[in-house]
C-alpha cells in the first residue's frame, strides 16, 4: 500500500515539474515557432518551372553553375543561423546547414568556386532574386503570399498583364 501511494505521489510530482518546465519555456520565448513551408523562387528570366531535389542540391552545393539555357546561376541564401535557412536546408536539400557551410568553405578556400551570396533577411532575399537575372533563392510561403498581395494591390497594371515578378519553382521527388 505504501509503495502504491509513493508511486502515485512520484508520478504527480513528475507531471508538475514537466508542466512547469514547458510553461517557463513558453513564457521566456524559448519555445520554437514552426516555420511555414519553404518555396523555391527564381528570377523571371529562368525558364525552368520544376527542379528535382537532386538538381536543387547541385545548385546549392555550387556544382551546377548554369541553367539549361546556359545562363549563369546566382544563388542567394540567408545566414546559416536563420531559422528559415535551417528549415530550407534540412527539408528541401536534405542536408544539414553545417554540411553546406563545409562545402562552401572548401570551394572558397581551395579557389575552385565561390559561395552563395548571403543576404540579411527574407525580404532582402526576395528583392535580390527579383533584381538579379538567373538567380535562385527561397522564401517563406506566407511572406510570398503577402508580397503578391501587396504587389497586386499597389500595381493593378502588373496584375492585369499576367507577368509576375518572380517564379515559384515546383520540386519533384
List per-residue pLDDT tens for the chain, 173 residues long.
555 555 555 566 566 665 555 555 555 555 455 546 899 999 999 999 999 999 999 999 999 999 999 999 999 999 999 999 999 999 999 999 999 999 999 999 998 889 999 999 999 999 999 999 999 999 998 888 777 655 555 554 443 333 467 888 888 87
Distances (CA, A) of 20 to 13, 23, 95: 11, 5, 35
Same domain, 93 and 144: yes
Could you give the CA distance from residue 61 to residue 143 in angstroms, rounded to a whole number? 25
Same domain, 128 and 74: yes
Q: Tens digits of per-residue pLDDT, 45-80?
A: 999 999 999 999 999 999 999 999 999 999 999 999
Domains: count for the chain: 2
Residue 136, Cβ density class (10 Å: 0-12 exposed, 13-18 middle, ≥19 buried) = buried
Domain span at residue 5?
1-31
In the chain, % of residues over pLDDT 90: 54
Could you give the CA distance from residue 50 to residue 68 in angstroms, rounded to a whole number? 12
Same domain, 59 and 2: no
Same domain, 23 and 84: no
Could you give the CA distance from residue 115 to residue 100 in angstroms, rounded to a whole number? 10
Neighbours of 60 (CB within 10 A): 24
Provide the CATH number for the domain around residue 133. 3.40.190.10
Distances (CA, A) of 16 to 28, 32, 76: 18, 21, 46
Amino acid at each position: 500500500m505504501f509503495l502504491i501511494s509513493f508511486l502515485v505521489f512520484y508520478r504527480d510530482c513528475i507531471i508538475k515539474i514537466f508542466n512547469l518546465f514547458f510553461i517557463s519555456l513558453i513564457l521566456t520565448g524559448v519555445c520554437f515557432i514552426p516555420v511555414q513551408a519553404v518555396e523555391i523562387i527564381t528570377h523571371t528570366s529562368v525558364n525552368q518551372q520544376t527542379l528535382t531535389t537532386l538538381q536543387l542540391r547541385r545548385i546549392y552545393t555550387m556544382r551546377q553553375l548554369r541553367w539549361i539555357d546556359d545562363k549563369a546561376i546566382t544563388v542567394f541564401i540567408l545566414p546559416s543561423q536563420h531559422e528559415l535557412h535551417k528549415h530550407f536546408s534540412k527539408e528541401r536539400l536534405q542536408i544539414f546547414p553545417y554540411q553546406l557551410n563545409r562545402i562552401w568553405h572548401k570551394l572558397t578556400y581551395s579557389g575552385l568556386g565561390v559561395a552563395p551570396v548571403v543576404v540579411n533577411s527574407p525580404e532582402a532575399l526576395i528583392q535580390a532574386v527579383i533584381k538579379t537575372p538567373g538567380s535562385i533563392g527561397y522564401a517563406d510561403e506566407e511572406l510570398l503570399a503577402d508580397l503578391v498581395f501587396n504587389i497586386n494591390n499597389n500595381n493593378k497594371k502588373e496584375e492585369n498583364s499576367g507577368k509576375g515578378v518572380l517564379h515559384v519553382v515546383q520540386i519533384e521527388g
